[in-house]
Structure 1
Amino acid sequence: MPKYSPQEVLSLIEQEGVQYVDLRFSDPFGQWQHLTVPAYEISEDTFESGRGFDGSSIRGWRTINESDMIAKPDPNTAFIDPFIEPKTLVMICDIYDPITGERYGRDTRYVAQKAEQYLKQTGIGDAAYFGPEAEFFIFDSVEFGTGPNYSFWRIDSEEGWWNREFTSTGYKIPFKRGYFPVPPLDKTMDIRNEMVTILSELGVTVELHHHEVATAGQAEIDIRYDSLVSQSDKLFLYKYVVRNVAAKHGKYATFMAKVLPNDNGSGMHTHFSIWKGDEPLFAGSGYAGLSETALYAIGGILKHARAIVALTNPTVNSYHRLVPGFEAPVRLAYSARNRSAAIRIPMYSQSPKAKRIEVRFPDATSNPYLAFSAILMAAIDGIENKIDPGEPFDKDIYSLPPEELEGIPQLPGSLEEAINELEKDYEFLLKGGVFTEELLQLWIEAKRAEVDRLRFTPHPLEFELYFDV
């Protein structure tokens, strides 16, 4: 996204005839929130004083007796919204306490900003770069609901091989056959093109897009790497564009990790590297062209992976994806080229500037401010403590016999297990004040409540399995 000063934002408002300004921020769980003010209410003072709002109405934030909060727009994030009329300018905000004047600790953008600052304080590097590959589905119809006497979901897609409601029954994509046939099998190419065009116009550089492995309109749009906070901002914008373009076409986009029980889920493979000045710190002469620093970073991520998945894979549904056999990496190993390992070292280029690692277990239901910060903090811990990642594992993990799998640690099999792991292993997240115990306890309590809600609700499949027992 282009960078603006407050004065340049005001000039843009005038030049473009902007009538409204939309101020946006994320709640702790990754839901983009907004409030809108007439453009004539925006002045240079807005960037200093911000706008007040009721923080008690935001999930996971203030209690009603201390509800007042301040949203201060970041002028560097300004863009004209492509979906809203009359013309509206959007800015992402930082959240402040109006009494103390200090940043609000549950503002997850603040966590990401502190993570970037902490990296510099350690002297390890100046910038951490992230390149997420957020996958999603585009459905033609979606229905779901629960009540005291029912529970159901139903999705439909013109591509789905099971579908009989659309006339083009000759071109269907079977399970796991969506990577990546041309139209007319691929029925969402035009929609993805439109998404990419809009993202590009908004300053988000797209490297490619394609149909993904699953049937029923699974897609991926890859955006170019950027620094932690900036890339997190872009990921919110990415999801906003994807959902709104789909809606414009009468369709529904979702980033849920697992929608179809017999097909691949949607992940967010995350490319990650650390630089110091112009030097890529992950390039070296070790395994797969990695440096010792990169291997220690891998060691840290593998050591803490069972805890950080509570942040990178934060839903009950996330663990329906993290099962063997659907390209989801569940074993904590690293390897060059091997997509069955939790961490892969891409080998497309021999350039030191392209050297990075790919953390393959996250999904896009995560709050990117927290997910990327957790990955960085685990890597820093590995580098500082010289954590050995062990030997690489270049075999296909999915096809190994049980005796060979025994020595490879595994990711948690449920959100409850992940939360328990986070509760036991979070000291590395507290370094430099990046995360706070208060924020992590909020997260743990909220996620336990989600687990309990699912635990108390019978699944429709249970009736099929057990009703006549």
Structure 2
Amino acid sequence: MDKYTKIIEQIKALEADMVDFKIVDFYGRLRHVTIPTTNITDKKLQFGFGFDGSNFGFAETGKSDFVARPVIKDFVELDPCLEDPTATFMCDVYEAAQDVKPYESDPRGILRKACNYMQSLGVADMATWGPELEFYLFNDLLVRTDPQAMSAEIISDEGYWGSQDDDYSFATRLPKKGGYHSVPPNDTQYQTRVEAVRRLTSLGYDVKYHHHEVGGPGQCEVEFNLMDSMVAADCIILGKYIIRNTAQEFGSYASFLPKPIFGEAGNGLHVHFLMKGKNGELVFHDPNGYMGLSKMALSFLAGILTHAPAITAITNPSTNSYKRLVRGYEAPCNCCYGMANRNAAVRIPAYATQPEEKRFEYRVGDATFNPYLALASILMAGLDGVKKSLDPEGKFGPLEKMDKGWEPPVSIPASLKEALEALQKDHQFLLDGGVFTKGMLEKFISDKMQDHLRIERTPHPVEFEMYELI
């Protein structure tokens, strides 16, 4: 019995009458197609199914036939968010041609190529990531974007501004920026997080912990332990999917928007990063290095900071991203590093004292990114630093050793337009090893510049307050 027949037998044994195939589009949005189990064959699992890639941002309508091929594991997973037992598979994207081949701009394929490139350089055998998902759980979010009316209203039992129906201050209300590690009854969304974490762990994702975050009106965080690159990117995609669905079941709305509330803490998506060599060799550790980090780890760090303005276009690809990246909210605004410093783009955790724990945290990104592209861009920037033996000391920090008032030579871009312009100027390192392609980056920059233009040209309600009386 081949592996495809075994998978079909497992699907039937689980009494799943539907099979769900999940595809991540060019921009990081999760899509799906569902096929009845009665129509699942060995060939369907082996060769996949066709779909219109123009609606996924992959191509124009004139050449938009693509194939989604499920990633087959040794076991079948059930979608924890669907009421009826439904088998679920992530898919890779292939070009539909005479000779079907992996699509060069498939986000999952780009991350896979980046990992293969890392191995080809002999730098490490494995890159591991520990994502931190930050999000708000609101009672509801009401949005209107008509030409004659523009508004966004957040309804939150924890909100200090009062509810939709009254102006009283209930016991569950939290002060502005006063939510960190709150307990019930103030932590009104505890059970929602618990159920989301149960579902995540049912899929094998290793949750480190979850808690209420700084933001008073329902900000939360779910943090994961280190995992392999592709598993981490899948975890981010499915983590958002599970949290959103679980929130809806509990009567809430989950928002991963980087800055949903002015004056409150924003939502980042920090990633802890550690590399391992053959047989688990700790290539990031050197007992004599800064904070126990090896020269290779520091060169990797220097590569990330050198290319940070450019990769910010990929790790922070929304106009809203840059409303979070402002001073005063534990947001990283400068291309620098330091021990236990949450204002730096790269933080070296002070509590990671053991050799196997030596790592750093990249704090710039947010959940509007495509995780496959974001992790690949960070990895490629770091590898460029290793290849060039870059040294971060003095130029980028460490902050605790620099004079008061010191500023790094470059800053994190202040807008999406600025980030896209940086990527346009500095992207050769992403093309190394054929990981990204020039055409893919040109399309990305062009599409995202349209996001910038839409916001720039759309009247904002605050503008009426600022200028109407002049």
User: Under a length normalisation based on structure 1, what TM-score does the superposition of the two structures give?
Assistant: 0.95
Residue 101 of structure 2: SS of its match in structure 1? coil
Report how far residue 106 of structure 1 moved. 2.3
Report how far residue 90 of structure 1 moved. 0.8
Report how far residue 168 of structure 1 moved. 7.0
Residue 67 of structure 2: SS of its match in structure 1? strand
Report how far residue 434 of structure 1 moved. 0.5
1:367 matched to 2:370: yes
Cα 1:5/1:159, change in 2 over 3 Å: farther
Mapped partners of 1:287, 1:5: distance in 2? 48
Mapped partners of 1:460, 1:405: distance in 2? 38
Mapped partners of 2:242, 2:87: distance in 1? 15
User: Which residue in 2 is equivalent to 1:67?
Assistant: 64
Report how far residue 396 of structure 1 moved. 11
User: Does the 8 Å contact 2:138/2:253 carry over to 1?
Assistant: yes
Report how far residue 395 of structure 1 moved. 4.5
Q: How does 1:30-69 map to 2 (within 5 A)?
A: 30-58=28-56, 60-69=57-66
Q: How does 1:417-436 map to 2 (within 5 A)?
A: 417-436=418-437
Report how far residue 44 of structure 1 moved. 2.1
User: Does the 8 Å contact 2:10/2:76 carry over to 1?
Assistant: no
Q: How does 1:205-220 map to 2 (within 5 A)?
A: 205-220=206-221
Cα 1:364/1:78, change in 2 over 3 Å: farther
Deviation larger for 185-194 or 415-424: 185-194
Q: How does 1:454-469 map to 2 (within 5 A)?
A: 454-469=455-470
1:345 matched to 2:348: yes
Mapped partners of 1:161, 1:206: distance in 2? 30
User: Which residue in 1 is equivalent to 2:242?
Assistant: 241
User: Which residue in 2 is equivalent to 1:312?
Assistant: 315
User: Which residue in 2 is equivalent to 1:394?
Assistant: 399
* Pairs aligned (count): 461
Within the candidate set 277, 282, 289, 2:284 is matched to 282
Report how far residue 338 of structure 1 moved. 1.2
Mapped partners of 1:237, 1:8: distance in 2? 25
Report how far residue 409 of structure 1 moved. 2.5
Mapped partners of 2:454, 2:24: distance in 1? 24
User: Does the 8 Å contact 2:11/2:76 carry over to 1?
Assistant: no
User: Which residue in 2 is equivalent to 1:147?
Assistant: 146
User: Which residue in 1 is equivalent to 2:77?
Assistant: 79
Gaps of 5+ in 1: none
User: Which residue in 2 is equivalent to 1:411?
Assistant: 412
User: Under a length normalisation based on structure 2, what TM-score does the superposition of the two structures give?
Assistant: 0.95
User: Does the 8 Å contact 1:341/1:393 carry over to 2?
Assistant: no
Q: How does 1:183-194 map to 2 (within 5 A)?
A: 183-194=184-195
User: Which residue in 1 is equivalent to 2:384?
Assistant: 381
Deviation larger for 131-140 or 85-94: 85-94
Counterpart code for 1:279:
E
Q: How does 1:56-205 map to 2 (within 5 A)?
A: 56-58=54-56, 60-76=57-73, 78-99=76-97, 100-164=99-163, 165=165, 169-205=170-206
1:103-142 CA-to-partner distances (Å, cap 9, x unmatched) read 1122111101101111111111111111110100000011
Counterpart code for 1:387:
L
Residue 333 of structure 1: SS of its match in structure 2? strand
Within the candidate set 18, 21, 40, 2:19 is matched to 21
Counterpart code for 2:65:
D
Counterpart code for 2:439:
E
Counterpart code for 1:21:
V
User: Does the 8 Å contact 1:78/1:92 carry over to 2?
Assistant: no
Residue 420 of structure 1: SS of its match in structure 2? helix
Cα RMSD of the aligned pairs, angstroms, is 1.8
Report how far residue 145 of structure 1 moved. 1.5
Cα 1:407/1:196, change in 2 over 3 Å: closer
User: Does the 8 Å contact 2:160/2:169 carry over to 1?
Assistant: no
Report how far residue 40 of structure 1 moved. 1.9
Q: Percent identity?
A: 39
1:213-256 CA-to-partner distances (Å, cap 9, x unmatched) read 01111000011211111211111111111000000011100110
